[in-house]
Amino acid sequence: MAKTRSAYFCQSCGYESAKWLGKCPSCNQWNSFVEEVIQKGNSSVPEWKTASGNSRVAKPSAIDKIVFAEESRLITPDSEFNRVLGGGIVPGSLVLIGGEPGIGKSTLMLQLALNLPGMKILYVSGEESEQQIKMRAERLAPLSKRKGGDCYILTETSTQNIFKQIEILEPQAVIIDSIQTLHSAHIESTPGSVSQVRECTAELLRFAKETSTPVFLIGHITKDGAIAGPKILEHMVDTVLQFEGDRHHVYRILRAIKNRFGSASELGIYEMQGSGLREVSNPSEILLSQRDEELSGITISAMLEGARPMLIETQALVSVSAYGTPQRSATGFDTKRMNMLLAVLEKRCGFRLSAQDVFLNIAGGLKVEDPAIDLAVVVAIISSHEDISVSTKVCFAAEVGLSGEIRAVNRIEQRIAEAEKLGFQQIYISKYNQKGLDVKRYSSIEIKSVSKIEEVFSSLFG
């Protein structure tokens, strides 16, 4: 009989302690420890059996003797999903997908399971019944139009029962909806607790690595926006994806937070429709608003998200402060960086903005960290302050320094090519980006090279 013991776990980071602590020594959170009863089973018996019936025994190998063979990825019909994963699904990978309730995580994964061609997919649900999943599947991909392989639905929460069905079915990919609903018989605590989430993820990780079967885990998030469960959960998996968006709008963003097999800065954009999620191959169609006349305070910037160039719209509003302290508000942009740019405008360019309310918004709901939009932000603020509009055929791609200089940004060729493709006539870049740049390649767009903010203002506003 295994010995039963209890331990205290931090609900924020998963730190384990033999006694209750008021403050977690790992993440410094207060009153986050909860007691959980743990009963360890016989760990020498595997939870599942491999195809050969024997578990693989790892042995040390000299790094010079290891033969590197690049594994072929599973290419899905969803090009946005392939881009975020780094080129497709890696065999044996463990992917965690988090997002707010009702944002469309289950819809995304069920749509993927129904459309993977020639593959046997097991969709394990601990939250919905078979009838509910069937209704959604008919809405996403009716049986008469379905082009994918075989999709099997299993409504189960016990990992022991799930592995028994996996051994019988032998699927080529497994989807778990959600990891917080699973429970293992070896841990005597409720589903969703720190120890249960950690144990269930560890069992699925062993299964994925030893059978080279990709496993997708859907995870809930807390009110702070972090994935529920211990922080170690994100360290155990290979890839962490965040599904973002506003439930009151139709657009969703799939963002890679961690990726061991590709870039961690990629994103995919979807449009939520009645028949499922539609891929948005040209993000500029939603990031640039359609307007009939030129308005002050609006500029266009050429930014990069991962390997994808995008044109985004920056909106600024400057007005006289009605209160003693001016307001500073930014949506989709770092407020501290906006305050820094305002200080540069006041110190280096002589604009009196200390008594003005300044509001900044990045259209489309994106959160932008690319410093290349600095110049667009500065021009939008001055455009609103002077109430002079900027042409809709002009875009910007440059960083602004503290001394007012225009700094170079990386991969300027891709930014210029994207602006030219969308019909822009002028793009302002740093003169330090001209080194190695073949200007003759771009025949339909004029490249303006500047080194100071004053040069931009004199060119645009006279």
Assess contact for 113 and 151: CB atoms under 8 A.
yes
Burial of 84 (0-12, 13-18, 19+ CB in 10 A): buried
Residue type at position 110: L
319 is in an annotated binding site: no
pLDDT tens across 171-187, in order? Answer: 999 999 989 899 888 87
- Closest CA relative to residue 267, chosen from 80, 20, 120, 415: 80
pLDDT reading at 45 higher than 70: no
For the residues 214-237, what does the mean pLDDT come to?
80
Fold designation for 75-279: Rossmann fold (3.40.50)
pLDDT reading at 61 higher than 80: yes
pLDDT tens across 149-164, in order? Answer: 688 999 999 999 999 9
What is the structure's pLDDT at 28?
A: 86
C-alpha–C-alpha distance, residues 425 and 391, integer Å: 10
Pairing of the two strands 328-331 and 4-10: unpaired
pLDDT reading at 403 higher than 60: yes
429 is in an annotated binding site: no
77 is in an annotated binding site: no
The token duo for 280 is 């948005």
What is the structure's pLDDT at 54?
A: 46
Counting every residue written for the chain, the total comes to 462
102 is in an annotated binding site: yes
DSSP helix/strand/coil, 160: helix
106 is in an annotated binding site: yes
When comparing pLDDT for 72 and 395, which is higher?
Answer: 395
C-alpha–C-alpha distance, residues 144 and 161, integer Å: 32
Task: Locate the DSSP E strands across 199-295.
Answer: 215-219, 239-245, 251-259, 267-273, 276-279
Give the architecture-level CATH label for domain 286-461: 2-Layer Sandwich (3.30)
C-alpha–C-alpha distance, residues 188 and 263, integer Å: 38
pLDDT band at residue 132 under the 50/70/90 scheme: very high
For the residues 110-134, what does the mean pLDDT come to?
90
What is the structure's pLDDT at 170?
A: 92
Of all residues in the chain, what percent carry a pLDDT higher than 90?
42
Say how many Å lie between the first and final Cα of the chain, rounded: 85
Q: HSE-up of 18 (CA within 13 Å, CB side)?
A: 0
Alpha helix (H) residue ranges in 238-318 = 284-287
pLDDT reading at 96 higher than 90: yes
Pairing of the two strands 215-219 and 173-177: parallel
145 is in an annotated binding site: no
Query: Which helix (H) or strand (E) segment is 356 a member of?
Result: strand 356-362
For the residues 68-87, what does the mean pLDDT come to?
86
For the residues 289-294, what does the mean pLDDT come to?
70
Alpha helix (H) residue ranges in 34-129 = 79-85, 105-115
C-alpha–C-alpha distance, residues 74 and 338, integer Å: 42
What is the structure's pLDDT at 35?
A: 81
pLDDT tens across 211-223, in order? Answer: 999 999 998 887 6
pLDDT band at residue 143 under the 50/70/90 scheme: low
What is the structure's pLDDT at 156?
A: 92
100 is in an annotated binding site: yes
99 is in an annotated binding site: yes
Residue linked to tokens 């009110």: 223
pTM of the complete model: 0.76
Strand partners, 276: 273
For the residues 256-284, what does the mean pLDDT come to?
85
C-alpha–C-alpha distance, residues 257 and 124, integer Å: 24
C-alpha–C-alpha distance, residues 396 and 388, integer Å: 17
Least confident of 9-18, 348-357, 414-423: 9-18
Least confident of 57-61, 302-306, 445-449: 57-61
Question: Mean pLDDT across the chain, nearest whole number?
Answer: 85
pLDDT band at residue 53 under the 50/70/90 scheme: very low
Cα angle: 189, vertex 192, 193; to 5 degrees: 50
Assess contact for 8 and 18: CB atoms under 8 A.
yes
